[in-house]
Structure 1
Amino acid sequence: MSGRGRKAVPPPPDHRVDPPIAQDGLVVTVTNKAGYRKELDFAELSVAGPMQRSLAASFAVRSRGWTSHSTARTCWTGLEMFAKFIAGLDSAPDDLDGLTVATLQSWRDLHIDTNSGKTTLRVVRGILQGDARLGGGPVAEELARRIPKPVPSKQSYGDSERDRVVLTAQRQFRSAWLRITENSRLLKRWRAGDLAEGSREWRIGRVLDHVARTGDVPRTTLPGGLQHVTHRKLLGGSGVEKTWGRLFLTHLELTALAVLLTDRFAWNLSVYDRIPAPTTSPSAGETASVTYQVQVEKHRTGWGRWFSTENVTDSGAGSPGRLISQAMEATAHARMLANDLKPGHNLFMAARAYHLEPKHTDLDRPAPVGPVSFGVSYSMAQYWARKNGLGGSPFGRTRRTTVTDEGRPLQHSQRTHESVYVIPDKRVQRASRDVFEAGAVEALEQARAVVFGGTIADKPDPAHQETPTADCEDEETSPWPAPGGGCGADFLLCLACSNAHVHPGHHPRLAHLHQQIVSLRSATDDRMFRERWKDPLLRLEDLRDDDKKVGPAAWDAALTRVSDSDRGVVQLLLKGDLAP
């Protein structure tokens, strides 16, 4: 079975796979998942012919598992840089077996200090290690040296930055959604025959029907070959929002929608190119809500784990699924037109391209269908940010912000969550400082609380009531009152009470109690010991170690005066046989 659950089918008998490298040994062809081919000519590299062929052979072997041209471009760019480095040497080797440790060390030193340089070192090393001549010896050891991982440079947004990005996207997408839903209702009424024939609304409805079927408004060709909108006066202008934009999102509006989806669900930018239109099912026990099944594609997770389904429910305004509902409405006409032109084509993130026949230049991204394009490219993200005065692409930082705010992995592993998103993020670090500070203060307060809380006396007071561990000044004002009056505290808790008075007559019993509690540590489960004996032990040690209370010398001397009565009382305390 395949990773998607389809039964494997053997290829036809005459099937053959063309080798990725041409007969001349210099041209390598990389075929992406969509079946598009990209040729890379190693004769363009500025190194000697033998090295060109060696690099091409290793590149061809490594490229067999690639499914995108972007991977090939990344490796090709690295090899171009390596070739320029080799060409700049005083004595450039003719082939890979001429590489020396010193040469590779110089190459490493040139790139090791930057994130992009580390990536370049890593991709070039993979190509070089594919050559059998570099499989052993000092050169192989140099190639095997650890290359540090790139240090994440993107940071999450601060609250004000995030608000600015999200509000910009909300204003843009909501305006488009209102425009499209309003015109969709008008088109529906026209198709249902609910409009008076010949009225202004009826004539606009007829234009909208043409837009829905073709992707554009009717246009008139002038004698010089120029075209203008036929019903410009009726539509109120010839701009995008007055013409085909009545039913379709623009690229900028689709990008704004993607920003909102990333802010809500922390999806990667690459997800939007291939995400299918969500399917729906009724929510259990609900009639007014709908649950969407959204299939998210994540290639970095590896074979067999590329696809996951997220259930998102629209239960009203403010619910996570409401944005999905609005996105479905805003992209409906683009998706229907694409499906009419190419049946079975139903990608979610669809917009109308600015040209009726857009060029398909990035072959890793889905090809347009007629005037409908799909997904959001990195260049679209950058253009959207520049257009709105927001700096660079917002997707990486928006995703990071959502992930760190959620505090859990979203479409990635726990290890990636901690090492890439949480630990390097300065906003998380600032927030953590407050948490650490609060924890330290709490620990200090607890440490201060687990000390002797009463009074040190020179002699007993006849007005005080004796307890097994101290004398009580007033049990009616106990911090732990009993339901029927008086004190309800355990006798071991007496040492924490402000009503407790300890005089020299208590020292032998308390010193012996301390000794017996310590002896329980090795015979008692750690968790049970901490729960039952940790606090009494700390209070006794506070009495023992503080010269202003009992002090070590008096404590040790008291151990020599322990009586049988003291031993009996301590034994009862340890067994829990003494009730307060």
Structure 2
Amino acid sequence: MVFYEEQSGKSHTLDFSSFPAPLAMQRWMAVLLAAQCGARGGSKRLATAKKYHWVLRRFTVVLSDAGRVPSTPGELAPEHFQILRDRYEDHPTSLRLYLQALRRLMRKRDDLTEEALHDLLRTRLPAAAEATQVMAYSDHEWQQIMTAVRRDVRISRDRIRVGVRLLARFRDGELIAGSREEALGRMLEEYATTGDLPRNESGVLRDEVSRLGGAMAISGMLSLTRDESTAFALLLSALTAENFGTVKTWPALHTRPDGRVSAQAVALVEETKPRRGPDREYMVVALEDLPASLRELAESEDTEPRLFLSPLRVYQLLLELTQTARRLSGATRAFVS
């Protein structure tokens, strides 16, 4: 069976033929996984599909070691689940994981006997291991984090805008021929056009690339680094109270219902939350600008840091700084580095 992860598009083959079980049981377990991880199932991540596949395989291995593998789903009995409990009674964490997964996969199956299903669902799960206490960030720590994130965003903004202006001056013929600026402008033109830098016939970057700062420095004049992209996601997550994992998948395409003319600017961005289930996973988040009174304050030269208090402005800045990388890659997402 081939599983396709919804958000990333990654595919992975889940092989049931190696399970130590009859063909009918192998096929049935493939059906179980397809129901849980398919288009209308609640599990959309590749890691989750792999976990279910692993649990099903362990279940058949345990039954095989005991010499009690059923031939069909209808032959599954309470004693089969008891074999699993006995096998992992000294490993409560593993047993809890296996029983929880089997319950999710089998609880709605009408091809199991009532006795087997009742035994699986009534079994009291082993106590979970004592959770590690998680301490919330203090106000001072949170302020330090936000200060560092805004600093990364500000540095990337200033650097890329300098690169964009230099490239524009090169294209307009304003740079002195033979100067370092002109050579750097030519490099930026190469990168903006092809997504690469000059190379020798062997494929190695030319020496002039190193003399002008290296590939990472030159490409960084027109695109974000991965860490800077993460900083944008963290900042937007903090400003909107959306999960980091949701924010990082936002698209660049959005709607401006205000028509860019109203006093209260807003952008509507589609997002997905697969864990909400197939009927409720698609949502729309509204990225608003600051109120008019604060917007006037934020636009003053002395209060530049306040520009990073507006979710809409941070999102617009992200789109501005990633437009070259998005054009070169053909990506439609907001976060691209």
Into which bin does the TM-score normalised by the smaller protein fall? 0.7 to 0.9
> Contact 1:86–1:93 (CA<8 Å) still a contact in 2?
yes
State how 1:484-523 maps to structure 2 within 5 Å.
Answer: none
State how 1:13-52 maps to structure 2 within 5 Å.
Answer: 28-33=1-6, 38-52=12-26
Task: After superposition, give the CA deviation of every residue in 1:279-323 in whole Å (9 maximum; x if it has no partner).
Answer: 55436237xxx5433332222333255121313216334222343
Paired residue secondary structure (2:70) = coil
Structure 1: any 5+ residue segments left out of the alignment?
A: 1-27, 340-344, 352-580
The match for 1:174 is 154
> Contact 1:295–1:309 (CA<8 Å) still a contact in 2?
yes
Structure 2: any 5+ residue segments left out of the alignment?
A: 299-304
Superposition deviation, residue 227 in structure 1: 0.6
Please give the root-mean-square deviation of Cα atoms over the aligned residues, in Å: 3.6
Partner Cα separation in structure 2 for residue 68 and residue 146 of structure 1: 27
State how 1:198-347 maps to structure 2 within 5 Å.
Answer: 198-221=178-201, 225=202, 227-232=204-209, 234-235=211-212, 237-241=213-217, 243-272=218-247, 274-277=249-252, 278-280=254-256, 281-282=259-260, 284-285=262-263, 291-302=266-277, 303-304=279-280, 306-313=282-289, 315=295, 316=298, 317-318=305-306, 319-321=309-311, 322-339=313-330, 345-347=331-333
> Contact 2:271–2:283 (CA<8 Å) still a contact in 1?
yes
- The partner residue of 1:122 within 66, 76, 100 is 100
TM-score normalised according to structure 1 size: 0.46
Paired residue secondary structure (2:230) = helix
Superposition deviation, residue 153 in structure 1: 6.4
Runs of 4 or more off by more than 6 Å in structure 1?
146-154
The match for 2:136 is 157
- The partner residue of 2:165 within 182, 185, 199 is 185
The match for 1:385 is none
> Contact 2:62–2:83 (CA<8 Å) still a contact in 1?
no
In the alignment, structure 1 residue 77 sits paired with structure 2 residue 68? no
Aligned residue pair count: 308
> Contact 1:296–1:310 (CA<8 Å) still a contact in 2?
no
2:314 is matched by which residue type in structure 1?
Answer: L
1:134 is matched by which residue type in structure 2?
Answer: L
Paired residue secondary structure (2:243) = coil
The match for 2:302 is none
2:53 is matched by which residue type in structure 1?
Answer: W
Over 3 Å counting, the alpha-carbon distance change for 1:285 and 1:158 in structure 2 is closer
The match for 1:578 is none
Larger-gyration structure (1/2): 1
Of the two structures, which has the highest relative contact order with CA contacts closer than 8 Å and spacing of 6 or more?
2
Partner Cα separation in structure 1 for residue 223 and residue 108 of structure 2: 49
2:25 is matched by which residue type in structure 1?
Answer: M
Query: What fraction of aligned residue pairs are identical, expressed as a percent?
Result: 25
Over 3 Å counting, the alpha-carbon distance change for 1:239 and 1:194 in structure 2 is closer
Superposition deviation, residue 194 in structure 1: 3.7
The match for 1:142 is 119
Over 3 Å counting, the alpha-carbon distance change for 1:108 and 1:327 in structure 2 is farther
> Contact 1:118–1:147 (CA<8 Å) still a contact in 2?
no
Paired residue secondary structure (2:205) = strand
Partner Cα separation in structure 1 for residue 234 and residue 85 of structure 2: 38
Task: After superposition, give the CA deviation of every residue in 1:28-61 in whole Å (9 maximum; x if it has no partner).
Answer: 3445548775432211223454432332344345
Superposition deviation, residue 273 in structure 1: 5.1
Over 3 Å counting, the alpha-carbon distance change for 1:84 and 1:250 in structure 2 is farther
Partner Cα separation in structure 2 for residue 106 and residue 347 of structure 1: 49
2:226 is matched by which residue type in structure 1?
Answer: H
- The partner residue of 1:56 within 6, 12, 30 is 30
The match for 2:68 is 92
Superposition deviation, residue 141 in structure 1: 0.9
1:139 is matched by which residue type in structure 2?
Answer: A
